[in-house]
Structures are given as structure tokens and as C-alpha cells.
A and B are shown apart, each in its own frame.
With several copies, the nearest count.
Chain A
Amino acid sequence: MTQQTSRPADPFVIAGRTFRSRLMVGTGKFPSSQALKEALAGCDAEIVTVALRRADLNNPSGDSILSVIDPKRHLMLPNTSGARTADEALRLAKLARAAGCEPWVKLELTPEPRYLLPDPIETLRAAEMLIKEGFIVLPYIQADPILAKRLEELGTATVMPLGAPIGSNRGLKTRDMIRIIIEQAKVPVVVDAGLGAPSHAAEAMELGADAVLVNTALADATDHEAMGRAFALATEAGRIAYRAGLGPERSTAEASSPLTGFLNKL
């Protein structure tokens, strides 16, 4: 079997739309538009998240995120960061749509600033409101399999459980619960937050995640294009390995050289 024949059989589809890349990129915290541009080029991302904020009245022509995002190559996915209630999340989603975005939204409801963890109750409420308003909803959630199932049943397009707190670079600390979410999900599972190294992204994909979202690790890199490339390769590697069949862990060794045919002992 060859990649050429096996790869096309693996489309990544969200809400009926097919994507090539399984690596979503967050655009926050980059030192410059140029750095972001390089990271996006390096990982060849299609889905990129953005936030909505008050315009700076003293800097109207300020360096805009829009100068980097190419509508032909990128799907701009607005998040609801800053919202602490379902109503605020709905308001932000509508503003984004009015600004010309497609009706997709990364639902993010994080009431406390220290760990920026998602609120399960408000997130579920907001998801219901947003779906009623015709939005395609991608909710950021705790790695809670029951909550994930309830959101799926409400009609969210994906679930986006966290691996660790946003920006912590700690990796797949919620591995056991992510595994259960993947096992039970009928919508794509996108592991979001905490993935600080390509190996973390590969691990999530090997577990069977449909995609990953990375931001901090790219923004913090010294060489943004290279790090973008590294995450793209690792995400693909993990996906391919998941489909190619990984072996089980063993508690003892298993010889990789034959245990017979030894020469006569000296």
C-alpha cells in the first residue's frame, strides 16, 4: 500500500466542508505580523482563529491581522475570547459575522483569568443559542466526555477539549479523558490548548484526534516558519500513524533480531 493511494481516503470534514490541513493555528501573541505570516507559511494552515476587540482610537490604521490572513487560503475562525457569559459570546459571534466572517465561531467562555479554563454550563447554553442563530459552533471545553457528548447532541460541529491550560505548553495532561472523548465522539475532536511541542500534537493525533489547534508554541518560537513546519509535520505524522496501526505497549522486551541461529559459543 502506498501513501499516494491511502492519503486521499482521509478527508478532514467539519460541517460538510473539507480541509486539507489538520493543524489549526491561533494568531495571538506573535511578536509581529511578519512572524505570524512566516508561521502560517511554515505550517500551511487553513483554519486560523482570530479575536475581536475594541479598535484603538489612537491608532486607526494600526497593523491589522487582516493584512496577514488570505481569504483564498485561510478560513478565518473568530473566537469569543473575553466573553464570560453566553450572551456576551453571542454578541461577539454576531459582530464577527457582521464584519464579514462566515458564520463559524470558536466558542470560548473562560470566566477566570489565571487558568482561562472553560465554563461547562455557560458554554452549553451559548452553544444552544449560537446554533439557533445559524452559527457553526466549535466549542473549547474541559476534557469532559459527558459534556462533549451533550454538545455533540446539541449540534456543535466539533468538540475542542483542552490538553492543558492555554499557553502552558504542558502537553496532553488530560490524555485519559481525551481518549474517551475520541472513542465516543461522532463529530471531529480537535485538541486545543496546552500543546507546546510537535510531539504533543503527534501524540494527540495518534490517539485518534481529528485535528489540533496550536498558538503559543508557534508565537514563542525563535524561528516561526520552522516551528510552523515542525507542527505541521508532526500533526501529519500522528495522523498517518493512527491510520497505519500502532503496536501495543509491552511490559517486557521483544527481540528485534532473531533469537535463533546463533553461532557456536566461544
Chain B
Amino acid sequence: MQITLNGEKREVAGGTTVQILLDSLGFTAEATVVERNMDILDRSVYATTLVADGDSIELVRFVGGG
């Protein structure tokens, strides 16, 4: 199935959880926030939240800023 990840189209296998997605990308939960279809996900649900076809997901992190 296809999702939009940080603005890019991506294919992901069915049954992929947010945690699996992060792991596959090499991201650690600590430094990252996940927004799914405009809703912020609590870290506690990463492992139990399935990514669905058409999802728009944003992985956000802190950078230097004034």
C-alpha cells in the first residue's frame, strides 16, 4: 500500500506499525515526533498503531532555530 511520508510517496507492506516504520528508517522514538493524518501520535501507541493505505505521515524533529 502507499503512504505519503514527509511529502514523499512511499510503498509500505500491510501490517506495518509506526514503530516498524521508524525502525526501518533508522529513527529512534526519542528524537522524533510522529504526526499521522494531522494527529500527533503518543509514543506509547507507536507499536500498536498500524499504518493504513493513503496515510499522510510526518516525522518531525528539532533543529537549530532563532
Determine whether the beta carbon of B64 is less than 8 Å from that of A52. Answer: no
B7 contacts which chain A residues (CB < 8 A)?
54, 264
9 cross-chain pairs, A with B, having the tightest CB-CB distances, nearest first: A51-B65, A256-B66, A26-B66, A257-B65, A215-B66, A60-B26, A27-B64, A55-B59, A28-B66
Asked whether any CB of chain B lies closer than 8 Å to the CB of A66, the reply is yes
Determine whether the beta carbon of A51 is less than 8 Å from that of B58. Answer: no
Determine whether the beta carbon of A52 is less than 8 Å from that of B66. Answer: no
Given A64-B31, A95-B35, A99-B33: A57 in contact with B62 (beta carbons within 8 A) = no
Q: Enumerate 9 A-B pairs (CB-CB under 8 Å) in ascending A order.
A: A29-B64, A50-B63, A51-B66, A64-B31, A78-B65, A81-B66, A193-B66, A255-B66, A258-B63
B35 contacts which chain A residues (CB < 8 A)?
95, 263
Nearest-neighbour CB distance to chain A for B64, whole angstroms, equals 4
Chief secondary structure at chain B's binding surface: strand
Asked whether any CB of chain A lies closer than 8 Å to the CB of B48, the reply is no
Asked whether any CB of chain B lies closer than 8 Å to the CB of A17, the reply is no
Determine whether the beta carbon of B64 is less than 8 Å from that of A95. Answer: no
How far is A27 from B65 in the complex, measured between Cα atoms in Å? Answer: 5
Asked whether any CB of chain B lies closer than 8 Å to the CB of A94, the reply is yes
Chain A positions near chain B (C-beta within 8 angstroms) = 26-30, 36, 49-55, 57, 60-61, 64-66, 76, 78-79, 81, 91, 94-96, 98-99, 166-167, 193, 213, 215-216, 255-258, 261, 263-264, 266
Q: A51-B62, A64-B61, A91-B38 are in contact. List 19 more A-B contacts (CB 8 A).
A: A27-B66, A28-B64, A29-B64, A49-B65, A51-B66, A52-B60, A53-B61, A53-B63, A54-B58, A55-B6, A57-B59, A60-B25, A60-B27, A65-B64, A76-B62, A79-B65, A215-B66, A257-B65, A266-B38
- B64: contacting residue among A36, A54, A166, A263, CB under 8 A: A36
**Beta-carbon contacts under 8 Å, B20-66 to A:** 25-27, 31-33, 35, 38, 40, 42, 56, 58-66
